[in-house]
Amino acid sequence: MSLSTTSQPVIVCSDSISDQAGLSAKLALHYDHIVACQLVQLEQMVGREKRSTVVVSWRQPTAELRLIVEFCKDKQVPLLVILKQLNSNDINRLPESNDFVILPFDSSFDLKPWIEYSVQVREKSIALQKEIHQLTSKLEERKWIEKAKGLLMRMHALDEENAYRVLRSSAMQSSLTMAQVAKNVIHTFDSISAN
């Protein structure tokens, strides 16, 4: 039976050289490009190996493991964490993010599907962060618009609908977004009020 391999880079980092060698051998069944490194080399390896996945084998949750999880999140790199030991006291030391996959070390599972799953988890996390950012931006824009609308209503005795219409028509005439027009209105009123 021949196994198909992929050229996707897999970076293997471990706190045990023998565990790292064993994981690398297990991954070699499915991956052509495996890079083993120590914690101090991880940042350099991730920078060098584009579109890589990181597989980390650690004895138990520690500050170093938390650092790796945060680093991979920051770099948007898929991460599979394999732990040798996890007890109830260790659970609090695990990072709270839900953007990586965790497995027990003594698992007899084939790692390839778990690596593929870690890629999906990272992609979903990135999409979710992007959506949160977009919604936050829209909320901020909405706050500016509501504040400008309130100023127009108070200063020019307009009702809410007409104040909104004024902002919208000004945005269309000036080829700006309503949020930009709202900011301009607020800054103008602030300048007038300051004088």
One domain for residues 83 and 169? no
One domain for residues 103 and 136? no
pLDDT mean over 143-160 = 92
- Least confident among 25-39, 106-120, 128-142: 106-120
**Phi, psi (5° rounding) for residue 162?**
-70, -35
One domain for residues 83 and 157? no
The domain that holds 105 is classified in CATH as 3.40.50
**CB of 82 within 8 A of CB of 61?**
no
**CB of 61 within 8 A of CB of 93?**
yes
**CB of 50 within 8 A of CB of 77?**
no
Question: How many folded domains does the chain comprise?
Answer: 2
One domain for residues 19 and 77? yes
Residue 181: C-alpha distances to residues 12, 22, 107 (Å): 51, 61, 58
One domain for residues 143 and 102? no
**CB of 47 within 8 A of CB of 68?**
no
Is 5 within the bounds of a domain?
A: no
pLDDT of residue 2: 43
- Least confident among 44-48, 94-98, 184-188: 94-98
pTM, two decimals, is 0.76
One domain for residues 189 and 145? yes
**Phi, psi (5° rounding) for residue 105?**
-65, -40
One domain for residues 99 and 147? no
User: pLDDT tens-digit profile of 18-68?
Assistant: 999 999 999 999 999 999 999 999 999 999 988 999 999 999 888 899 999
Q: Which of 7, 4, 6, 12 is nearest to 80 (CA)?
A: 12
Q: What residues make up the domain containing 142?
A: 132-194
Name the pLDDT band for 106 (thresholds 50, 70, 90). Answer: confident
The domain that holds 157 is classified in CATH as 1.10.10.10
One domain for residues 158 and 98? no
